[in-house]
Amino acid sequence: MSGVKKLDSCRVLIVGLGLIGGSLAAALKARNGCREVLAWDRDPQSLILARERDVIDRAACSLEDGVADADIVVLAVPVLAMSAMVRDVARLDLAGKVVTDVGSCKSDVVEVARECLGDSLSGFVPGHPIAGSEKSGITAAKADLYEAHKVIVTPLPENTLAASQLVRSLWEGVGALVLEMDVEHHDQVLARTSHLPHLLAFSLVDTLAGDRDSQDIFRYAAGGFRDFTRIAASDPTMWHDVFVANRNALLEALDEFSEGLQQMYAAVEQGDSRAMTGIITRAKSAREHFTRMLESQSYLKAMSHQSSHTFLARSGGTATGTLRVPGDKSISHRSIMLGALADGVTEVTGFLEGEDALATLQAFRDMGVVIEGPHDGRVTIYGVGLNGLQQPPGPLYLGNAGTAMRLMAGLMAAQKFDVTLTGDESLSNRPMNRVVKPLLDMGADIETSEGGKPPLVIRGGRSLSGVDYNMPMASAQVKSCLLLAGLYAEGETAVVEPGVTRDHTERMLTGLGYPVKTDGNRVSVQGGGTLTSASLIEVPADISSAAFFLVAASIAKDAELLLTHVGINPTRTGVLDILRLMGANITLENEREVGGEPVADIRVKSAQLKGIEIPEDLVPLAIDEFPVLFVAASCAEGETVLKGAEELRVKESDRIQSMADGLNALGVDAVALPDGMKIPGCAAGAQDVFAGGVVHSHGDHRIAMAFAVASLRARDEIRILDCANVATSFPNFIDLAHSVGLNLSETES
Ligand code: NAP
C-alpha cells in the first residue's frame, strides 16, 4: 500500500458478523466513520439481520467480491478459523489493501500470514480489541462496544507505516484507545491477564459443580463467588479455541500460578500467618498499585477527587483542643526503607499516606518484604535484614517520588540482584547523575537513559568501596543515597556537605543502632554493620502542617491548642522562631527524641501578635510556612516585612502574588514585593481583620489552608476556590480543623 489513506475515504469489509465484527460494523455505521461498511459472513442469515438492523451498508455476495471492493479487510472469525481465513484471503488480490484481524491470540495467525501473504504482509496489521461480553453473534453486537476500551495493535516489522496508521485510525474512529505491542509480548500478557483467569473460572465452577454439596454451594453463593466466576459464563467455543491457540504462553502462566498456589497451600497448611499475610497484603496493594500505574493515576487522585473544590470558612470559629497533624513525608519514606532493612518487626505510626511514601512502600513489597497497612498511619514492617531483599518480579515503579529513586539508587547498587527503577513522566525527566556519578565511583554498575535520566538499570553483585565525597550541591537526597550505599561498602563512606541539609537519614540510622559519625559538615558510616529494629518508629507530625494550627490558636480569641508529637528538627523550626518573635505564646512540652528525631508537644495560646521585620536567616528554615505567617502578620499590631524570599514565587503557585491577591480581596492592604511582602497589620484586639469574600488558592494547598485559618478573624464567610490539592499534603485537614472548632466545610461547587 502506498500513500496514507484516510478512513473516511475507505470501504471496510467485515468478515464474520459476530459480536466483535458486528459491533465494529455498527460502530462505523453509527459514527459515519468510513465510506461504506461491507460484510461477508458464512451464514446468510447474519447478513440479512445486519441489513435489517442497519448495522452494515451492504452485504457482499462472496468473500472474493467483498475483498475486491474493500480498502480495509477486518477478519473477525473465531481464533481457530482465523488461519484458514488468512489463507483464503491470501489467494485474492490484496494489492493496495490493508488487512487486519481481531483474534485474541496473535502468534499463530502471524505465523500463517508470514507463510502465505508474500508481499501483502506489508499490509497485514494484526489487532485485538480488549472489549467483549459473554454473548456472541450479530444479535449481541453493540455500536458502543469499543468506546473508551483498549485495542492492542501488534504491527509487524514488515508493515508499512501507512498500513499500521490506517488500522490505528480504524479503531480510534470507533472511540477506542489504541496501544501497540509486539506479537509475542501480546500473547504472554493476554495469557496472564485474560486467558488464565478464564481458565481458572471455568475450572473452579466445574470443580464445585461436581461437588456433592453443589446445590448448597450455588444456592448460598455470595457476591465474591459471583464476581470471581462471572466469566465462566463466556462462550465455550471461543475459549476452547483461545486455550488451544495460545497453548504455550498459557501453560507458562499456569506453571507460575501453580507455584504461587503451592505457596499459599503450604502457608495455610502450616498455619503460617506471616506468609499468608504477606501474600494477601502484597496482592491487595499490587492490585491497587498496578491499576494506578496503568492509568497513570496518582495515589491521591481518588482522595483529592472526593475532596471538593471549594472550602467554606465561616467566621465565629475557635481553635481549642488537642490534635495530631499528619506525619512527616521525608521520615515516612525512610521509615519504610530502614524498617525493611532492620532485623525484626518495626511498627510505624504517624505514617503519611501520601503518594510518594506509598510508592516506596510498594517497592519494598515487590522486593519480598511483608508490610501490613497503612491503616490510619499505622504500618507494620517485617524486616528482612540488610541482605534479605529479593529480586523484584519487574521494574520498581516509584511514581513521582524523587526521594525514593535517589535513596533507593544507593541501596539497590549494593544488592546481589539486578533491578530497574522507573517512575512517572515527571520523575523520568529528573536528573539522576548527581547520585549515579558518585555511586559509579564506589564501584556500582548503573545505566541511565540519555542525560542521566530514569529509568535506572542497576546491576547487582558488585562490591562497593567507600568514598570520601565532596558534594557539589547541598542535597539531603544525595547524602542519604551515599550513606545507604555505604552500609554495604568496604571501609568508610563519607560525605562532606557544602550547606546544612535535612539529617533525617542519619538520625534514623542512629536510632536503629547503626553508628553514624558526624564531624562538622562531614558525615560518615562504616560498611558491614547491622540495623536492629526500633520496634516502633513514631513518625513525627509534620511541622509544616502544624504551622496552620500554630497560627490558628495564636490569632483566635481565647484559644488553646496542644499539637502533639510534632517534629522539631532544627532544620525545620523557623516558623516557631518567627511566631515567637511576633509575640506568640508557644511552649514546647514533653521534648524527647524518638528514633533519633527531636519531637515535642507544642502548646499554643491566643496572643496579641506584633509586626516584625522577619530576619532573613530564618527564611530558608520556614520557607513553606509563609502563606499562613502572612495571615498571622495581618492580625498583628504594626507592620510586618518579609524580604529575601524570592523562592516563594516558584512554589506550587507564586505564593507572594497569590497571598497578596487573596489578602487584598479580604480587605488587607498587603503589598507584594519582588522577594517578599509588606503587611500593614491591624489595631490591637481588632476582631474583623478580614472582611470575608472569595479568594483563589490557585490549586496551592498551603494557600487554601492559610485562608481557612484567616476565617477565625473574619467578619463574613471566606470562600476559598480550587482546594482539591489540600489532599496531597494534608488529607484530613477539614476534619481536624473542624474537630478543634474552625467553622470549615467543603462544597462541590
Ligand atoms: P462470534 O460472536 O461467535 O462471531 C464469530 C463469527 O465468525 C460468526 O459470524 C461466525 O459465524 C463466524 N464463523 C465462525 N466459524 C467460522 C468459520 N470457520 N469460517 C468463517 N466464519 C466463521 O465470536 P466473536 O466473539 O465475535 O469473536 C470473533 C473473534 O474476536 C475471535 O477471534 C475472538 O478471539 C475475538 N475476540 C472476541 C472477544 C469476545 O469477548 N467475544 C473479545 C476480543 C476478541 P456463525 O454464526 O455461522 O458461526
Looking at every residue in the chain, the average pLDDT score rounds to: 91
Grid cell listed for 320: 481549642
Contact assessment for residue 19 and residue 41, using Cβ atoms and an 8 Å cutoff: no
Q: Which amino acid is at 486?
A: G
The answer to whether residue 475 scores a pLDDT higher than 90 is no
In ligand 1, the atom with minimum distance to the C-alpha of 17 is: 9
Task: Give the pairing type, strands 72-75 and 98-101.
Answer: parallel
Per DSSP, the residues of 264-315 read HHHHHHTT-HHHHHHHHHHHHHHHHHHHHHHTT--TTHHHHHHS-SEEEEES
> In the prediction, which pLDDT does 3 show?
61
| Predicted local distance difference test score (pLDDT) of residue 728 | 63
The rounded Å distance from CA 18 to ligand 1 centre is 5
Residue 170 contacts by C-beta under 8 Å, 6 or more apart in sequence?
Answer: 7, 12, 33, 34, 72, 74, 100
Residue of 19, 171, 237 to test ligand 1 pocket, by largest number of atoms within 8 Å of CB: 19
The two domains 311-319+540-748 and 330-538 share their CATH topology (first three levels equal): yes
Which of the four pLDDT bands, split at 50, 70 and 90, describes residue 298? very low
Strands of the 310-314 sheet, one edge to the other: 693-696, 718-721, 310-314, 743-747
Q: Which helix (H) or strand (E) holds 225?
A: helix 223-229
Looking at residue 511, its pLDDT comes to 87
Backbone phi, then psi, for 683, in 5-degree steps?
A: -65, 145
For residue 58, how many other CB atoms are within 10 A of its CB?
Answer: 16
Q: In this predicted structure, which of 76-80, 89-93, 291-295 has the lowest mean pLDDT?
A: 291-295
Lowest mean pLDDT among 216-230, 588-602, 728-742: 216-230
Query: Over the stretch 487-515, which tens digit does the pLDDT of each residue have?
Result: 999 999 999 988 777 899 999 999 899 99
**Looking at per-residue confidence, does 297 or 328 come out higher?**
328
Cα 712 to the center of its chain, rounded Å:
36
| pLDDT recorded at residue 305 | 39
Question: Does residue 394 carry a pLDDT above 80?
Answer: yes
Cα 331 from Cα 542, distance rounded (Å): 9
pLDDT at position 307, please? Answer: 39
pLDDT of residue 293: 58
How confident is the model over 24-36, as a mean pLDDT? 96
Which residue in this structure is represented by grid cell 550513606? 483
CA of 50 to the centre of ligand 1 (A): 15
Backbone angles phi, psi at 40, to 5 degrees: -135, 135
Q: What is the mean pLDDT of the segment spanning 662-684?
A: 96
| Structure confidence at residue 190 (pLDDT) | 95
Give the C-alpha separation, 205 to 570, whole Å.
Answer: 62
pLDDT at 685: 87
Tell me the DSSP string of 435-497: HHHHHHHTT-EEEEEGGGEEEEEEE--PPPB--EEE-SS--HHHHHHHHHHHTTSBSEEEEE-
Q: How confident is the model at residue 749 (pLDDT cuts 50, 70, 90)?
A: low
Write out the three cell numbers for 149.
476500551
pLDDT confidence of 143, banded at 50, 70, 90? Answer: very high
Q: Is the pLDDT of residue 215 over 80?
A: no
In three-state secondary structure terms, 337 is helix
Give the residue, 700 or 612, on which the prediction is more confident: 612
Which residues lie with the beta carbon below 6 Å from any ligand 1 atom? 16-21, 41-43, 46, 76-79, 81-82, 102-104, 128-129, 132, 136-137, 238
CA of 80 relative to ligand 1 center, distance in Å: 10
Give me the residue label for grid cell 472511540. Answer: 175
Return d(Cα 519, Cα 86) in angstroms, integer: 75
Q: Each residue of 640-650: pLDDT tens digit?
A: 999 999 888 87
- DSSP-assigned beta bridge partners for residue 538: 349
Atom of ligand 1 nearest to the CA of 133: 40
Instruction: Give the per-residue pLDDT at 555.
Output: 97
Q: Which residues are CB-contacts of 101 (< 8 A; sequence separation ≥ 6)?
A: 74, 75, 76, 82, 86, 109, 126, 127
**Burial readout 647-683 (b: 16 or more C-beta within 10 A, e: otherwise):** ebbebbbbbbebbbbbbebbebebebbebbbbbebbe
The pLDDT assigned to 209 comes to 83
**Lowest-confidence segment of 43-52, 333-342, 474-483, 606-615 by average pLDDT:** 474-483
State the average pLDDT over residues 523-542: 90
**DSSP bridge partners of 447:** 457
Architecture label for domain 330-538: Alpha-beta prism (3.65)
What pLDDT score was predicted for residue 428?
84
CATH topology of domain 7-181: Rossmann fold (3.40.50)
Instruction: Pick the residue whose CA is nearest to atom 39 on ligand 1.
Output: 132
Q: Please state whether the peptide bond connecting residue 455 to the residue before it is cis, i.e. omega within 30 degrees of 0.
A: yes
Higher pLDDT, 334 or 647: 334
CB atoms within 10 A of CB 631: 31
Does pLDDT of 570 surpass 60? yes
At residue 22, what is the residue type? G
The span from the CA of 498 to the CA of 470, in Å, is 8
Neighbours of 687 (CB within 10 A): 12
Band the pLDDT of 337: cuts 50, 70, 90: very high
pLDDT at 412: 98
Q: Does the active-site annotation cover 328?
A: no
Domain residue spans of the chain: 7-181, 193-265, 311-319+540-748, 330-538
Which pLDDT score is estimated for 638? 97
- Specify the residue with its C-alpha closest to ligand 1, atom 17: 81
Whole-number Å distance, alpha carbon 23 to ligand 1 midpoint, is 11
Interatomic CA distance for residues 258 and 264, integer angstroms: 10
CB 55 within 8 A of CB 141: yes
State the catalytic residue, choosing from 366, 424, 542, 624: 624
Ligand 1 atom nearest to 103, measured from its CA: 32
User: In the structure, what pLDDT confidence band is assigned to residue 90 with cuts at 50, 70 and 90?
Assistant: very high
Measured in angstroms, how far is the CA atom of residue 76 from the centroid of ligand 1?
6
C-alpha 321 – ligand 1 centre gap (Å): 67
Does the structure show a pLDDT above 70 at 699? yes
Cα separation, 210 vs 218, in Å, equals 11
Q: Region 627-653: what's the mean pLDDT?
A: 91
CATH number, domain 311-319+540-748: 3.65.10.10
CB < 8 Å & 24+ apart, contacts of 669-674: 670/630, 670/634, 673/642, 673/643, 674/646
Residue-level length of the chain:
749
Q: How confident is the model at residue 268 (pLDDT cuts 50, 70, 90)?
A: very high
Provide Rg for the chain, Cα atoms. 32
151, pLDDT greater than 50: yes
The predicted structure's pLDDT at residue 744: 96
Place domain 193-265 in its CATH homologous superfamily. Answer: 6-phosphogluconate dehydrogenase C-terminal like domain (1.10.3660.10)
Most confident of the ranges 27-36, 370-379, 395-404, 620-629: 27-36
Q: Using CA positions, which residue lies closest to atom 7 of ligand 1?
A: 77
Atom of ligand 1 nearest to the CA of 242: 34
Query: Which residue type occupies 229?
Result: T
C-alpha–C-alpha distance, residues 726 and 196, integer Å: 42
Full DSSP string of 572-607: STHHHHHHHHTT-EEEEEEEEEETTEEEEEEEEE--
Would you state the pLDDT for residue 295?
55
From residue 665, how far is each of 38, 504, 660, 677 by CA, in Å?
Answer: 64, 40, 9, 16
Of 238, 241, 243, which is best to mutate to test ligand 1, by the most ligand atoms within 8 angstroms of its C-beta? 238
Instruction: Tell me which of 291 and 637 has the higher pLDDT.
Output: 637
Over residues 437-470, the pLDDT tens digits come to: 999 999 999 999 988 999 999 999 999 999 999 9
Pairing of strands 72-75, 11-15: parallel
Task: With cut-offs at 50, 70 and 90, classify the pLDDT of residue 223.
Answer: confident
**Between 282 and 117, residue with greater pLDDT:** 117
Instruction: Give the C-alpha separation, 35 to 209, whole Å.
Output: 50
